[in-house]
Amino acid sequence: MPPWHDRVVTHNGSTGDAPYLRAARPDDYDAIAAVVDDWWDRPVRSAIPRLFLDFFHRTSLINEDTDGLAGFLIGLLPPDAMDGAYIHFVGVAPRARKRGLARAMYDEFFRMARREGRHNVAAITSPVNATSIAFHRSLGFAVRGPVPDYNGPDSDMMVFGRPL
Ligand SMILES: CC(C)(COP(=O)(O)OP(=O)(O)OC[C@H]1O[C@@H](n2cnc3c(N)ncnc32)[C@H](O)[C@@H]1OP(=O)(O)O)[C@@H](O)C(=O)NCCC(=O)NCCS
């Protein structure tokens, strides 16, 4: 049974173009791959290969509005860290930012992870991504880093964690 039993997780019916949140599907990959370099303003697509949507869609979220993809979250419930959950990527379209969409996706992921028996959540980001660092701080994550060579030589990362 998928972590989200119903496709549509939440729906704000107050306006016709309100974004809604649903569990991801493998065929969401192409829409994500088409926009990520623009949304991040740097090449990041190689960090989101298709395998994440093929094999982790049940723990990932898609946010859509009338213009198409408005946001996505790629999350995992790792089999080798039974107490933990991990958020690999979150992105919101520039047109939809600063309206609480990323926070809503994180909150929904947290609820699902708690239901599945997970007690903490982790994520990482590049030290240059000040927006991501501010976003994670604002959601109550402890911030560690830059951790030198986290992802191999010359790949320092910021490491986030918080209880669920
Ligand atoms: C980071 C990102 C996902 C935030 O999405 P968002 O939907 O705009 O974020 P929210 O509206 O839910 O913001 C939640 C909180 O994060 C913080 N925040 C969000 N954007 C911020 C910014 N540009 N600068 C500083 N703080 C910010 C704020 O504290 C905000 O709370 P507030 O609105 O009550 O002040 C979005 O800017 C994005 O997609 N950036 C490019 C991709 C990226 O860097 N992803 C993260 C790394 S994987």
Helix (H) or strand (E) segment spanning residue 103: helix 101-115
Query: For the chain, how many helices (H) and strands (E)?
Result: 4, 8
Indicate which atom in ligand 1 lies nearest the CA of residue 129. Answer: 44
Query: What does the pLDDT read at residue 19?
Result: 52
Largest CA distance in the chain: 49
State in Å: Cα 152 to ligand 1 middle.
Answer: 27
Q: Are 93 and 71 in contact (CB under 8 A)?
A: yes
- Per-residue pLDDT for the chain (164 aa), expressed as one digit of tens each? 456 544 445 544 333 444 578 999 999 999 999 999 999 999 999 999 999 999 999 999 999 988 999 999 999 999 999 999 999 999 999 999 999 999 999 999 999 999 999 999 999 999 999 999 999 999 999 999 999 999 999 999 999 999 99
What's the chain's Rg over C-alpha atoms?
Answer: 15
Q: Which atom of ligand 1 is nearest to the CA of 135?
A: 16
Model pLDDT, residue 5: 47
- Testing ligand 1's pocket by substitution, the residue of 90, 131, 157 carrying the most ligand atoms inside 8 A of its CB is 131
Whole-number Å distance between alpha carbons of 94 and 108: 21
pLDDT at 11: 44
